[in-house]
Amino acid sequence: MDLTINGSSRTVDLPDDMPLLWALRDGLNMTSVKYGCGIAQCGACTVHIDGEAVRSCQVALGDVWGEITTIEGLGTPDALHAIQAAWIEHQVAQCGYCQSGQIMQAADLLARNAEPTDDDIDDAMSGNLCRCGTYPRIRAAVHAAASAMREA
Amino acid sequence: MGRARTIARRSFLIGSAAILGGVAFGAYFVTRPTPNPLLEGLADGEAALTPFVKITPDGITLIVPRADVGQGIASTQAMLIAEELDIDPATATLDPGQPHKAYFNGIIAGESMPFPAWDDGFVARTVRDLMMNVARLTGSQFTGGSSSTADLHESLRMAGATARETLKAAAARTGLARADLRSEDGHVILPDGTRIAYTELAADAAKIEPVTDVTLRPASEWTRLGKPYQRLDIVAKSTGTQDYGIDVALPGMLYATVRANPGRGGGMASYSPDAALAMQGVRSVVEVNEGLAVIADNTWFAFQAAQALEVDWLPPDYPASSAEMWQALAEARTEEFQNSRLRDDGDVEAALNGATVIEADYRSPALAHAALEPLSATVLVEADRVQIWTATQIPAVVRDAAVEMTGLDPSQVTLHALSAGGSFGRRLDHDYVVQAIQIAATMPGTPIKTTWSREEDMTHDFPRPMHMALGRGRVGNGRVLAYDLDSISASLISSWFGRIFVVPPGADTMLVWGAFDQPYAIPNYRVTGYAAPPMMPVGSWRSPGACSNSFFHESFLSELIHAAGADPLEERLRLIADADSRRVLEAVAEMSNWAGADIGPGRGRGIAFAHTHGVPVAEVIDVTLTERGIRIDDVWIAADCGTVFDPVNAEAQLTGAAVYGLGHAMNCELTYENHAVQQTNFDAFEGMRLYQTPRFHTRLLGRAERVRGLGEPATAPAAPALADAIFAATGQRLREMPFNKFVDFA
């Protein structure tokens, strides 16, 4: 199976019906993509396919329809994306386990909506669970990232 | 005169030890001063005592032995050392170290004694000190009870100061006076301005006696502590580069998962592995504690095959359904099961006799911890060594389990302690690590990562115990006159300590935490604990005991205050003498512009107070009735944990704990049928989501004398404050969690 992930071609030898989540984690050791529930209830496994946020636990490997972006494709510690910079500025993370998925969901939102309201953020982000309860800072960081991206 | 300071002066000794090419510094508690306990007190095999600061020519390593489960304690520990060591902690390597009794938790055992945390009398202090020595002797190293900052804030700063002064002494050997040297940013500065890096001084520092006559800098001189700073893990956690226990990858690694008896504690009559073994990528099926495990080429194959296992489970020997469990609790409210009566002021029976008695009964359900990272451990068993990669709050217990299971020496066990994707108390057990060792032991030489599915994680949690209470009380003249609370649950202490250590003698104080230990001076005031017969094994859930008892205690107090016609804030203040507690109530009143529970039609305001983990917390909550249900608008939290070292993270712990308390109170419970948990994933156990999250307003007063931790204290008062707000808005008293059984939330 040939995949394009973060602009690079990757090959995995795994069954078509295996969830993309496990192909990324166990097959390609891309462990930024987190397993939390396996049933699309927590959002920890969120990646982009052709720019759209999807739950990788629900996408069969054989059904991948486009280029995959994980959080590494968004930005890195040495070259942060504006959303990651806002997440750092607002010190959102506690345990941090959900945050890759939160950030990928926020990236999808901000690509479609440059100036989201609180309600827009609620609608877009409420599928992403945070058991530590970082929600107030997530809200603030999304607004800050939106502002930074508009000014960029 | 700070109590902690007195302890520190009497019982700290500092030692150093030469390590390969460098020097290591440690702070070590002893009751009798001896000259160098690190070196002289060591038995064979203990020579490699792991200290708090290691400096080699290659760099500085800070040992941060308390587990970071999201609460940010790795950063706080590093900052405490760095403040005195004069380094930028971001330039140091953080290492949790190996389990060692030098890292024992000296606070937590004392807090389990039958004295309220606000009781600073002679007996309470003496017993706490005795228990600290017991903890030292048993070497119990664990992270929990919001104890890390309280326990380590002096010893870590002392380690940093000792290392700094010893490095200066090493630099001063050429005839300079140590007092003439300065330190700055990882360097010793000579009078002529010459800068010598600590790393260059390490080898020399190892050869000299450590400087022990150090004094800690006063807060007014701190350059890092108490000021907003960036968590050291924040970049990694914002870029997907943080390594959690579940992310371990080793060459040649295989993957496993567990399928255990859904009726926890029951056995296995028979099983057939054939169907699972026939599936793709499956290597083997092995027996482990509580069930079976599948070893496969990846986690997904293991998950699939685990479902295909055919097993005939045996039922455990406790009630099978929630209804029967509640019945068992109700039947335990008898003299036979009375476990404690740690509060018995005045004469409750006389006060209630013949009076108009107000009664109410309450229920708090079992809850899963449900950390977002499912439990996982990776183990490599070899002939003369065991290595374990996992996230745990009890590293010494994990190490000892590996020793017992393999017969190896403790020095042959290496624990690679990793960050946890949450815990909330779940990693105070090590069942998942024991299984992972059992699994890896079947394939020596091959590292195997065992990951529980979410369903397994929820089904085989050690949940918060089901808990119920009966309140009886009397009011008159606008006041609460008598308060009697019976609190009933299976014993958490017996269940949990029985698994990881030994069951301590005496009353289960945790069963009544959050009730007996509240600082109210009600003239006739009694709290009685009843320990029901054991049911499903249970565990510590964020703010154990108090997460249920505070709901009972504060809710019933609110009912009495309402019946008395008093103001819920004013009557609490009238009943409380403790200055720290009064201040947080006054602060939350000011923050929320308190003027009673009535804030207009369709709205309601609630209040609750709890004194848990030594921290008084007051919370006020406003709700609005909307077409879609009850919306939580604002939450005000005032608390006092004494000195705040890490203000940004402290605020996060207050709000996070309140979200945790509110979300579960709104919509979470574990129910049982045929001994099995009925809620096995987040579709049936949601907690709070972003759209439900209110605005938070927090204040830490910084006035309390003793330093305390904040991981848990804001949890307990959240549920009763919400129930109180809902009553103010609707007139409906919610006496059972979760509240969504009775009302809708927007």
Residues B651-663 pLDDT 10s: 999 999 999 999 9
- Range in A22-31, A44-53, B17-26, B560-569 with the lowest mean pLDDT: B17-26
- pLDDT for residue B12: 34
Helix axes B3-11, B122-138, angle to 10 degrees: 40
Distance from the A53 Cα atom to the nearest Cα atom in chain B, whole angstroms: 16
- pLDDT for residue B37: 31
- Range in A125-139, B5-19, B34-48, B620-634 with the lowest mean pLDDT: B34-48
d(CA B174, CA B184): 20
- SS3 call for B2: coil
d(CA B287, CA B273): 10
This prediction's pTM:
0.93
Q: How confident is the model at residue B138 (pLDDT cuts 50, 70, 90)?
A: low
Is the confidence at residue A42, as pLDDT, over 90?
yes
Comparing B59 with B17, which gets the higher pLDDT?
Answer: B59
Amino acid at B120: D
Comparing B206 with B225, which gets the higher pLDDT?
Answer: B225
- SS3 call for B309: coil
Please, is A29 exposed, middle or buried when counting C-beta atoms within 10 Å of its C-beta (0-12, 13-18, 19+)? exposed
H/E stretch holding B295 reads strand B291-296
Q: How confident is the model at residue B14 (pLDDT cuts 50, 70, 90)?
A: very low
Please, is B579 exposed, middle or buried when counting C-beta atoms within 10 Å of its C-beta (0-12, 13-18, 19+)? middle
Q: pLDDT digit string (tens) for B339-367?
A: 999 999 999 999 999 999 999 999 999 99
User: In chain A, which residue's Cα lies nearest the Cα of B685?
Assistant: A41
User: Which residues of chain A lie closer than 8 angstroms to B693, CB-CB?
Assistant: 133, 135-136, 139
Query: CB of B601 within 8 Å of any CB in chain A?
Result: no
Amino acid at B313: W
Is the confidence at residue B104, as pLDDT, over 80?
no
Is the confidence at residue A129, as pLDDT, over 80?
yes
- pLDDT for residue B56: 81
Q: pLDDT digit string (tens) for B696-730?
A: 999 999 999 999 999 999 999 999 999 999 999 99
d(CA B92, CA B322): 51
- pLDDT for residue B23: 62
- SS3 call for A27: helix
Three-class secondary structure assignment of B419-488: ECCCCCCHHHCCHHHHHHHHHHHCCCCCCEEEECCHHHHHHCCCCECCEEEEEEEEEECCEEEEEEEEEE
The dihedrals phi and psi of B176, each to the nearest 5 degrees, come to -75, 155
User: In chain A, which residue's Cα lies nearest the Cα of B67?
Assistant: A95
Q: How confident is the model at residue B733 (pLDDT cuts 50, 70, 90)?
A: very high
Q: Mean pLDDT over all residues of chain B?
A: 90
- pLDDT for residue B25: 61
Q: Which residues pair with B340 in a beta bridge?
A: B529
The dihedrals phi and psi of B368, each to the nearest 5 degrees, come to -80, 155
Interface test with A, best of B68, B69, B79, B238 (most A CBs within 10 A): B238
Of B240, B298, B370, nearest to A27 by CB-CB distance is: B298
- Range in B211-215, B548-552, B606-610, B726-730 with the lowest mean pLDDT: B211-215
How large is the average pLDDT for residues B122-151?
67
How large is the average pLDDT for residues A122-134?
98
How large is the average pLDDT for residues B311-316?
98
Residues 6+ apart with CB under 8 A from B49: B17, B24, B26, B38, B42, B100, B102
- pLDDT for residue B54: 85
- pLDDT for residue A78: 97
- Do the chains contact at A72 and B690, CB–CB below 8 Å? no
In Å, how far from its chain's centre is CA A149? 17
Strand residues in B181-243 grouped as ranges (E): 182-184, 187-189, 195-197
- Do the chains contact at B451 and A91, CB–CB below 8 Å? no
Q: How confident is the model at residue B119 (pLDDT cuts 50, 70, 90)?
A: confident
Q: What is the ipTM of this complex?
A: 0.99
For residue B271, give Cα distances in angstroms to B258, B259, B290, B457, B554: 14, 12, 13, 22, 49
Is the confidence at residue B244, as pLDDT, over 60?
yes
Q: How confident is the model at residue B420 (pLDDT cuts 50, 70, 90)?
A: very high
Q: Supply B381's token pair.
A: 């068993």
- pLDDT for residue B5: 32
Smallest CA-to-CA distance from B707 within B643, B647, B653 is with B643
- pLDDT for residue B44: 30
- Range in B125-134, B215-224, B497-506 with the lowest mean pLDDT: B125-134
Tally of residues, chain A:
152
Q: How confident is the model at residue B259 (pLDDT cuts 50, 70, 90)?
A: very high
With contact defined as beta carbons under 8 Å apart, do B667 and A143 qualify? no
The dihedrals phi and psi of B516, each to the nearest 5 degrees, come to -70, -25
Smallest CA-to-CA distance from B714 within B560, B546, B485 is with B546
d(CA B301, CA B453): 12
- Range in B110-124, B238-252, B574-588 with the lowest mean pLDDT: B110-124
Distance from the A111 Cα atom to the nearest Cα atom in chain B, whole angstroms: 18
In the block, tokens 């108009």 appear at B356
In the block, tokens 């006060």 appear at B351
- How many of the other CB atoms lie within 10 Å of CB of A117? 10
Contacts 24+ apart (CB under 8 A), B277-280: B277/B305, B279/B304, B279/B305, B279/B308, B280/A15
- pLDDT for residue B50: 33
- pLDDT for residue A112: 97
User: Which residues of chain A lie closer than 8 angstroms to B649, CB-CB?
Assistant: 91
Distance from the A78 Cα atom to the nearest Cα atom in chain B, whole angstroms: 10
Smallest CA-to-CA distance from B105 within B151, B52, B67 is with B151
How large is the average pLDDT for residues B462-485?
98
Smallest CA-to-CA distance from A35 within A65, A63, A55 is with A55
- pLDDT for residue B52: 85
Is the confidence at residue B33, as pLDDT, over 70?
no
- pLDDT for residue B93: 93
Interface test with B, best of A109, A117, A131, A139 (most B CBs within 10 A): A131
- Do the chains contact at A122 and B690, CB–CB below 8 Å? yes
With contact defined as beta carbons under 8 Å apart, do B107 and B152 qualify? no
Q: Supply A45's token pair.
A: 């496994």
Interface test with A, best of B631, B690, B696, B712 (most A CBs within 10 A): B690
Is the confidence at residue B26, as pLDDT, over 80?
no
Q: pLDDT digit string (tens) for B613-622?
A: 999 999 999 9
Q: Mean pLDDT over all residues of chain A?
A: 98
Q: Supply B258's token pair.
A: 């567990």
Please, is B445 exposed, middle or buried when counting C-beta atoms within 10 Å of its C-beta (0-12, 13-18, 19+)? exposed
Q: Which residues pair with A53 in a beta bridge?
A: A48
Q: How confident is the model at residue B100 (pLDDT cuts 50, 70, 90)?
A: confident
Calculate what percentage of chain B has a pLDDT beyond 90: 79
Helix axes A118-125, A135-151, angle to 10 degrees: 110
Is the confidence at residue B34, as pLDDT, over 60?
no
- Of B97-101, B474-478, B492-496, give the range with the top mean pLDDT: B474-478
Q: pLDDT digit string (tens) for B559-607?
A: 999 999 999 999 999 999 999 999 999 999 999 999 999 999 999 999 9
d(CA B573, CA B552): 19
With contact defined as beta carbons under 8 Å apart, do B640 and B705 qualify? no
State the alpha helices, DSSP H only, in B12-91: 37-40, 73-85
d(CA B177, CA B188): 12
Running DSSP on this structure, what letter comes out for residue B209? P
With contact defined as beta carbons under 8 Å apart, do B568 and B692 qualify? no
User: Which residues of chain B lie closer than 8 angstroms to A44, CB-CB?
Assistant: 372
d(CA B638, CA B645): 17
- pLDDT for residue B140: 73
Is the confidence at residue B43, as pLDDT, over 50?
no
Is the confidence at residue B199, as pLDDT, over 80?
yes
How large is the average pLDDT for residues A118-132?
97
Please, is B213 exposed, middle or buried when counting C-beta atoms within 10 Å of its C-beta (0-12, 13-18, 19+)? exposed
Q: How confident is the model at residue B126 (pLDDT cuts 50, 70, 90)?
A: low
Query: Edge-to-edge strands of the sheet including B603-612?
Result: B603-612, B615-626, B629-639, B695-700
Is the confidence at residue B407, as pLDDT, over 90?
yes
- How many of the other CB atoms lie within 10 Å of CB of B40? 9
Q: Which residues pair with B528 in a beta bridge?
A: B486
Is the confidence at residue B175, as pLDDT, over 70?
yes
Q: Which residues pair with B352 in a beta bridge?
A: none
For residue B108, give Cα distances in angstroms to B116, B132, B142, B150: 13, 8, 9, 9
- Do the chains contact at A131 and B689, CB–CB below 8 Å? no
Q: Supply B691's token pair.
A: 């759209």
